[in-house]
Chains A and B, each alone.
Chain A
């Protein structure tokens, strides 16, 4: 057989002369995009700073980039005196711990229930409407109930986080299981696969694409759950720091914590993308991946 898969035989001399300009063009293109991105950031932050300095925007309401930077410096350098509730790092860890716990519980629950219901069409039909109803409820309100039931500790925040995460993951896992190719399923059955092997070898890996796609959104929800829970009532955490800053009419404090949360989410996002690449390495490279943000 003489099939060449992706093997191109370009003479060495030709390779040298033809590959280099292409690479240079690509590099220039990347540099241009990066420059434009930096310019945009400078433009936005610069005009924010200038407009508040000139009092076009009132820094009392809108904060000020220089003020936010100073606030961040205070938060991270003043040790135990940074907030009324202890060091800023301990606030971050509180929130992160709640979010991660909630994320893990919600994800595991979502996958188990989603795959379970997806595999059984009868149960899916029975439970389906209730799930829809529960999904229509503004679940963030459950935070109040959890707070009353479990007090000011970390439990209500973890619960709120998991509830928010659960639904995102659940819907994707459920859908993913139902999208499994009929032919592939029938083929596995005819080849003699047991029910358990079908779930392990066909259903779960097939739904994994969907589940992993949901994890990006899910972590955002986990953080929201933790922060809102803390805002409703807590003894420590970033949500509490934010409410305190709000009560002291300190917009710089609110913005500073907001950026810290954004940074945390970005780091987790990065780790999730790494995980995704690893688990889904079998997928063909998608042409839009480069363009994706």
Chain B
């Protein structure tokens, strides 16, 4: 892919301070999803969040996006507290969030169109973005006619077309096969290096987290809180994701973080196994 001029607004700082989120179950019981979560993402930083299943990673994301509000504490984006849907945020989910009745072009053009950009201009921008994710020529297809990896590319174009200051990714590549996943990771890093939004990236895959991120946040099992924060000082550009995994620095970081994560994973496992028994 040819290097594009950096057009995006620079990424925004995300500050999560003392955030607790409680939900009321339909029967009236209080369920605490996350408790006293504290961490920061620097402007333009790629931050990965790892943790056992059900530790409130997704809850944290929805608080940053403004889809949900914290019960206690505060989330600040670019110095301003989040209340309601934050400007300049894009979301990518594990499941496709594409509209099946719209063409690929229509799906990518949704972002600008929702913001009141005229149809013609929105479509021009969408065409440009489809070219950037390598899907030129597929504008008139419907999502069901594409492979999983191609749908992810459409999702990426749709998320990035608004040139967000913050990109929230909730296990975006979780459902892909290993090869496709590696390709998509490389493309994501390529696009991120052009636009430099701040990224909050949730994953189960520790290797993915270390290979992609500048900072890895380890969360405890539920109610989730921050257990440790690791800064990944592997130099950039890091090259192919598949190769970096064998570097000694990578392996050392992996060992350290896994040490921290394993306890939580084992505790969660013991708890769920206990329920099952």
Chain A residues in the interface with B (C-beta under 8 A):
1, 3, 5-6, 181, 183-184, 186-194, 197, 201-202, 205-206, 208, 280, 282-284
Contact = CB atoms under 8 A, between A and B. Distances in A.
The 3 closest A-B pairs by CB, nearest first: A187-B97, A193-B114, A282-B101
Contacts of A192: 85, 87, 111, 114-115, 162
A181 B93 CA distance: 12
Contacts, number: 76
Contact of B93 (A183, A201, A208, A284): A183
Nearest to A187: B97
Contacts of B102: 282
B175 interface: no
A191 B67 contact: no
B228 interface: no
Contact of A5 (B90, B91, B114, B145): B145
12 contacts: A3-B150, A183-B93, A184-B97, A186-B93, A189-B85, A190-B90, A191-B115, A191-B162, A192-B162, A193-B110, A283-B100, A284-B144
Report which residue of B100, B101, B102, B162 has the largest number of chain A beta carbons within 10 angstroms of its beta carbon.
B101
Contacts of A206: 99, 101
Contact of B91 (A186, A208, A282, A284): A186
Given A5-B145, A188-B114, A189-B85, A205 B90 contact: no
A5 B134 contact: no
A202 B99 contact: yes
Contacts of B87: 192
Given A3-B147, A5-B145, A5-B146, A189 B99 contact: no
A186 B97 CA distance: 9
A190 B114 CA distance: 10
Contacts of A205: 99, 101
Nearest to A190: B91
Given A191-B162, A192-B114, A284-B142, 12 more contacts: A3-B150, A183-B95, A183-B96, A183-B97, A184-B97, A184-B99, A188-B110, A190-B91, A191-B110, A193-B110, A201-B114, A282-B100
Nearest to A194: B114
A213 to B, nearest CB: 15
Interface in B73-94: 85, 87, 89-91, 93
B91 A187 contact: yes
B91 A1 contact: no
B198 to A, nearest CB: 15
B141 interface: yes
B60 interface: no
B20 interface: no
Nearest to A1: B134
B96, B99, B102, B147 interface centre (most CB from chain A within 10 Å): B99
Nearest to A5: B145
B45 interface: no
B268 interface: no
Q: Which among A190, A194, A283 has the highest number of chain B CB atoms within 10 Å?
A: A190
A181 to B, nearest CB: 7
A192 B95 CA distance: 20
B65 interface: yes
Contacts of A188: 110, 114
Contacts of A5: 138, 141, 145-147
A147 B93 CA distance: 56
Given A183-B97, A202-B99, A282-B100, A189 B150 contact: no
A5 B144 CA distance: 11
B55 to A, nearest CB: 20
Contact of A189 (B67, B115, B145): B67
Nearest to B142: A282
A77 to B, nearest CB: 49
B109 to A, nearest CB: 11
Interface core residue of A6, A282, A284 (most chain B CB under 10 Å) = A282
A181 B97 contact: yes
Q: Which of B96, B102, B110, B146 has the most CB of A within 10 A?
A: B110
A201 B99 contact: yes
Contacts of B142: 282, 284
Contacts of B66: 190
Interface string B139-180: 001101111001000000010001000000000000000000
Contacts of A208: 101
Contacts of A189: 67, 85
A275 to B, nearest CB: 15
